[in-house]
Amino acid sequence: MFRSYYPVKTICMHGSSGSPYDNRDLWKKYKLEDFGLICEPYITIDYNKVLYLSDTGRRWNGFKMSLRDNVKSSYDFNFYGTKDILAAICELPDQILFTAHPEQWVDNVPEWLFVKGFSMLHTAYKVFYRNVKIKKQMRRQGRTHEK
């Protein structure tokens, strides 16, 4: 359907972070080329050459709380906030892939308080309960892409 409007050449896995299923597993059976695709960022890009930054959990070092929104890389940056990234701008490599969740970033205090509070509660739930449970299910099913 998308191709009737634009020539799609790339895709990116999405899905429920609370599911033991990983959409990348689809590419264990199929090939991107079979669908006229050239890239799926989580399986195609060499992250030893491209710095991966994601705002998972409203922080740039949220990889510890994420089941899938992370990659294997030789880069060892550990940014908490955007100001940390800007302070290190001269040290960053030429190629960076940003994954952002704009619904988490707001510009007024009431919305910020709501998003921040929800994010803190949701993160605690993920780290201390849900991710532990999901990781066990993923290991039992051989479906882990962990670092």
**Dist CA 1 CA 102 (whole Å):** 25
pTM of this prediction?
0.69
3-state SS class at 39: strand
Q: Which residues does residue 61 pair with via DSSP β-bridges, in sequence order?
A: 54
3-state SS class at 49: coil
3-state SS class at 133: helix
Q: What is the pLDDT of residue 25?
A: 87
Q: What is the pLDDT of residue 147?
A: 43
Q: What is the pLDDT of residue 144?
A: 56
The torsion angle over the Cα atoms of residues 20, 99, 57 and 94, rounded to 10 degrees, is 120
Q: What is the pLDDT of residue 64?
A: 65
> Tokens 């201390």 correspond to what residue?
128
**Dist CA 31 CA 62 (whole Å):** 30
Angle at 54 between CA 89 and CA 77, to 5 degrees: 45
Residues 6+ away with beta carbon under 8 Å from 100: 54, 55
Q: What's the DSSP call for residue 10?
A: B
pLDDT in tens, the chain (147 residues): 999 999 999 998 886 666 777 888 889 999 999 999 999 999 999 999 999 998 877 778 766 666 677 788 999 888 988 899 999 999 999 999 988 888 777 888 998 898 888 878 877 777 777 777 777 777 777 755 544
Q: What are phi and psi of 55, to 5 degrees?
A: -95, 30
Q: What is the pLDDT of residue 51?
A: 95
